[in-house]
Amino acid sequence: MRRLLLLSIILLTEISLQAQPDAGKGKSPVSWNGYSQLRFTGNFNNINSFSVRRMKLWVQSAPGFNEHWGFKLQTTLSSNQSEKFVLQDVMSFYRQGLLQIKFGQFVPQFGLQWSQPDYTIPVVERANVSNVLIPDGTLGGRDIGIEANYGPAGNKWHIWGGAFNGNGIKEYNLINNGVLLTHKAALNLLNNHLYMGYSFMFRKAGQIHLSRILPDSIVYSGKDFRYNLFASLNLNIIQLQAEYTWADLDGMKADGWYLLAAADLGKSQLVASWDNYNDLIINTENSHTLHLGYNYLLKGDNLKFMIDNGIVDYNRKRKDYFLTLQVQLFFM
């Protein structure tokens, strides 16, 4: 990983040097960006914690880079990962007409919420089911492979199909004995107010840990099917969004869903969500989580203040409350 990060830095430096002559003309072929999310979490009892939830930095090709080719490199730092930089995206793409092909390390297209950048999501965290049951949700979120996207002008519909290693990015095996195949289709209806679709994946798993789905002591080998249905409705002031995802591991089923609503009132944003996730771990309690939040978009997503009240309901037997305060700031 260190060698890969060093190679990426050298590549970025070379790209920057090549981009400088065009920068004076106001048409730099490369763009840089980054943001941070600083957070406080507490339950007014035994948890009171400040953290760097995310700090992401990336460089990508701008429209002037090349007519057909482009790239993106992204790294992240988080208190959840001992504040060490992790190389997330190392991706190139080729586009020709209605077709785009991506190859490298990136997030496979699956579902809705994981196709939305985390800095645009109105809640402080994605739903548990989204984080766990996407193809590489507990394996680093990303995978190494190739993916094609085809869609007509006007974005009325899109189709994605991909093939990946299936191991995620936490551990890399030079000789891979598994495979991950993904497919997603989406439609834009009602003058782009309604967006809906489905996703499907198949993995031939070879000795992988599917934490938060199966017990940590189990190393899974076998067939892994996952399915997803999603829809979002944009009514200008109000946005509604929902997903249902389920996994089938040799007949064992894990599933979950979420409902999300947001109302935009100028720079203020009111948010509510309700989600559920059911795993395959006997000694964990399945739960529902209610989020009620308020966001103040001082400069849109570039400078945003978020207040989230979370209530976890454990099968109507016990309830936990937690408060999250978060500041989001873009650097560029």
DSSP 116-138: S-TTT-SSSS--HHHHHHSTTTT
Closest CA to 152 of 110, 186, 182: 186
Share of the chain above pLDDT 70, in %: 92
Q: Report which of 309, 301, 305, 297 is spatially closest to residue 331, judged by C-alpha positions.
A: 301
How do residues 182-232 score in pLDDT, each as one tens digit? 999 999 999 989 999 999 999 999 889 999 999 999 999 999 999 999 999
Place of tokens 């978060």: 326
**Overall fold of domain 2-330:** Porin (2.40.160)
* CA atoms lying within 13 Å on the CB side of residue 161: 4
Nearest partner of 249 among 288, 281, 203, 286, judged by Cα: 203
Helix (H, G, I), strand (E, B) or coil at 12: helix
Q: Are 263 and 272 in contact (CB under 8 A)?
A: no
% of the chain exceeding 90 in pLDDT:
77
Q: Give the pair of three-digit tokens for residue 149.
A: 């996207």
Q: Residue 3's pLDDT is what?
A: 53
Amino acid at 329: L
CA neighbor of 69 nearest in space, from 30, 32, 40: 30
pLDDT of residue 25: 56
Virtual CA dihedral for 114, 77, 178, 172, nearest 10 degrees?
170
For residue 162, give the H/E element and its range: strand 157-164
Check residues 152 and 304 and name the one with the higher pLDDT: 304
Helix (H, G, I), strand (E, B) or coil at 48: strand
pLDDT at 20: 47
For 139, how many CA atoms within 13 A lie in the half-sphere containing its CB? 29
**Mean pLDDT, the chain, whole residue set:** 90
241, pLDDT greater than 90 = yes
How much is the pLDDT for 154?
Answer: 62
Helices (H), the chain: 2-23, 128-133
Measured CA to CA, the distance from residue 102 to residue 108 in angstroms comes to 10
